[in-house]
Structure 1
């Protein structure tokens, strides 16, 4: 899949977000390199456009998971706007996280350490500069790293409390893990993007 196709798919999902400020947020993302950014230094999506593709994969998984839960419980129902916000914007913190650098003749991504406000926290802060988030959306984005979040390793109960209170937080974490470890590994093996 070309970068232009990835951008168009991302924009199609982003169209579900109708809140005031969403258009300004998307314009800011475009101007600040979101669609060229990698998803990581050397793991999943470690190429230009990897962040947008990863975000699409997470959004798709989240929509799929929500539909499965609706069938199973007949009560859990997050609207497409909330799912798009969480799926597409959970890693907004990575918009400026990596820069290409030359090191011993090898070009690689290096961590920039710009605005070190935490992972999920930084994403929430950046989004809130443009549009409102519900408490569930904040908890989901803040804790989408689950047990891999540095602060969850300290023995506090915030992650457990967030997962207990907010099914969306659990679903976003699982969607992120499935996109990373299933979808993107399959893409690497096949040599093509979805």
Structure 2
């Protein structure tokens, strides 16, 4: 993974598609006042490495674009979204993880010797939930449409801690929320596994 290449692509997509009032200030925050481009996406699951958060966000963007381009989604489900909405909900759905993780040391036995190795832990300085926290953070800089806010809020879908009825109702009201949740799961459970397998094959 190339952290700088991912950062460059993220910024290019952001500047191209997210142009509403306040977007430039939020990008400045991401670049200059947060760890967004170097943070992991989790402590030990998907993207649990430096730069994992930005990489995951880009993967969700690609998955969402592919999902929305399907003929069935367009012609039968009639799920529509502007390029700006797609970029916002995909690229920014996990900004709640900014400054969320810290690195600590623990002992691990390597070749019979105990050595200290780094690992990620959670250090949440703004305990405001998950999807709702992302909505809150973005809204401090730029206005979200209702469908964008709901999509980001419920991007964890049925795998989150929200009541099932709430998730289902949000998906019914705002199909882009279902699409984003699907893209997030694809990036998490499929693309991450592909990457792990590629690393394993390279090791051999």
Query: TM-score scaled by structure 1?
Result: 0.92
**Aligned Cα RMSD in Å?**
1.6
In terms of fraction of residues, the more helix-rich structure is: 1
Partner secondary structure for residue 36 of structure 1:
coil
Q: Distance in 2 between matches of 1:96 and 1:77?
A: 33
CA distance in structure 2 between the aligned counterparts of 1:178 and 1:70, rounded to whole angstroms = 16
In structure 1, the residue matched to 2:171 is 163
Q: Given the alignment of the two structures, is residue 44 of structure 1 paired with residue 46 of structure 2, yes or no?
A: yes
Q: Aligned with 2:105: secondary structure?
A: strand
Residues 63 and 80, structure 1, Cα contact 8 Å, conserved in 2: no
Q: Following TM superposition, by how much is the alpha carbon of 1:74 offset from its aligned partner in structure 2, in angstroms?
A: 7.9
Structure 1 alignment gaps of length 5 or more: none
State which structure, 1 or 2, has the greater radius of gyration over its C-alpha atoms.
Answer: 2
5+ residue gaps, structure 2: 108-115
Q: Which residue is equivalent to 2:2?
A: 2
Select between 113-122 and 71-80 the one with higher mean Cα deviation.
71-80
Question: TM (normalized to structure 2)?
Answer: 0.88
User: What aligned pairs does 1:29-40 form with structure 2 within 5 A after superposition?
Assistant: 29-31=30-32, 32-40=34-42
* Distance in structure 2 (CA, Å) of the matches to 1:5 and 1:191: 19
- Give, in whole Å, the separation in 1 of the partners of 2:39 and 2:62: 20
Dislocated runs of 4+, deviation >3 Å: 69-72
For 2:92, the equivalent position in structure 1 comes to 89
Deviation at 1:73, TM superposition (A): 2.8
Q: Take 1:185 and 1:74, find their aligned partners in 2: how far apart are those partners?
A: 29
